[in-house]
Structures are given as C-alpha cells and as structure tokens.
Amino acid sequence: MEYELFRNILNKQIFESSKSDLLDKLAKYPERYIGLFRPTKPKAKILQNLLQSNEIRFGDALEIIFEKYFEQLGFTNLPKKIGTEKEYLDLDQLFKDDKYVYFIEQKVRDDHDSTKKRGQIRNFEKKIVALLNEHAETRLKCFTYFIDPSLSKNKKYYTAEISNIQKDYNVFTKLCYGKEFWDEINHPKIWDELLRYLKKWKEEIPDMPSINFDEDATNTFEEIKCIEISVFRRIFNNKTICNEILPILFPKNETLKLLNEYFSQKENSIYKSVYNKIIEYMKLAL
C-alpha cells in the first residue's frame, strides 16, 4: 500500500468529523461536560472526549486499512453483514481465497475486563455459528486478532476458550497478536510495513488535538454546517454551555459568523430563530 493512502484513511476516519461529533454529543449530553460533580473543568473534559473518540476511530480506521491490504494481496472481500432477518451480525473482516473463507474478530488491544472478555468470546462463537450456515466448516478459518502485541491481558483465557470452540465446532480457530496473524496468512512483510507507516504517521500528527475550532474557521464551518439544526438550537438554548463551553471552542466567533451567514440564506423559521440566538450570544460574548 502507498503511504499516502494509508495516511489519508487514518486522517479521514479519525479527524474528519470529530468537531461535528463533539457538538452533537454536547447537545445531547451536556451534563457530561458541565456541572459541579466532575473532577475536571470543561476544557479538560472536551479534550478527554476528543482523545477517547480518536482511540475508537483509530480501530475503525485500521479495519478499513486491513480491508485494503487484503484486496491488494489478492483476497476477495466479502459482505460483513451476515445472519437472518431476525438478527444481523456485523463482522470486522470477512474475505476469501481459492481455498478458505477467513473471518477475523479484530480489536486493537487485549486489555478487556472480565465482563468484556466473556462478551468477546460469546460474539466470536455466535458469528462462527452464523458463518457455518453459509460455508462448509472445512473452508472456514476464524481468528480473534489483537493488533497491538504489547498487551495480552487475557491471553490465557482466550487461548482456552478458542481451543474449546475449535474442538466443539470442528472449525479452525486461532488467537493472534501483532505479526502472528500476518504470518498465518503468509504475508509477514505487511506487518513490517504497518509498523513503519504508523511510526511515520505519528510523527506528522499534533501532540494534542486542538479544541480551538476557530483556528481553521473555514474548514470547521464546512464540517459542521450540515449538522441538524436542532443540535444548534439545543446548544444555544443552554446558557451554561454558552457561558462555559462555547468560548473555548469558538474564542473569536469566526466560525459562528460563517455559520450565521449560511443560516441567513435558509427560509425555514427555525434557522432564523437559531440565527438570532447566535447573534445574541456573540453580542454577549464581546
């Protein structure tokens, strides 16, 4: 894979809609960011939210990157939604070659607590059962794969449970960490490339995400302008958000000015109402 494609997938998946997602969460769950019964101030909570969101999105981005790798290696990617009308299951990876169908339950790291690790195995088994309705057991190769090899908190538990699944269902199953999976499908060089690309990408990204949305007002506006108008209504109707959060996100109101210019062109009354609320907010913020 070319590094440019690798980098673009990560940046798009992790950063492209982070601002609009934050505003949506702020409107839906304002109590998560404000209030006396929190050990953090709003600025720290916003940063925490962005960092947690980036961690989740990083895993999603790696799913897309791996799918691209499988395609380039000559595998055929299969639809990841399987099951019946009563219950559909979403698979992390499903692809095939001339001999086998490969199913991967893919996670970034093995650091789960007891409840989550048991749920992980239940989901793995449930998906194998669904796959057996569509593919012969001799064709299936099923993996639980943790990408980061530095964390293997539940390795003993997963090894035992996956071994039992293999014995009972007579299906190939394996637990892999890091390079082990790529060795298993005979493409170990992909792991070396992945490490090299990740190191290069991490050198390019900032140490911390910026929570000053006015730093790049034009791009921020382009990202958030299509958020449902009800989100902006809830935000600007909440005086605490206006007093404690918005000055952090929009310290110069440059993005809000672009947003209001856009709203002024809309005909529906709700846009005019939110337009007036933003005007009122900006006057008070001066």
pLDDT digit string, tens, across residues 29-87: 988 888 777 777 888 989 998 999 999 999 999 999 999 999 999 999 999 998 766 77
Q: Where are the alpha helices (DSSP H) in 154-210?
A: 155-169, 179-184, 189-204
- pTM of the predicted protein model: 0.87
Domain range annotation of the chain: 3-60+207-285, 74-147+154-175
Domain spanning 74-147+154-175, CATH class: alpha beta
Model confidence over 185-202: pLDDT tens digits?
999 999 999 999 999 999
Model confidence over 199-223: pLDDT tens digits?
999 999 988 889 999 999 999 999 9
Burial string for 199-215 (b: 16+ CB within 10 Å, else e) reads eeeeeeeeeebebebbe
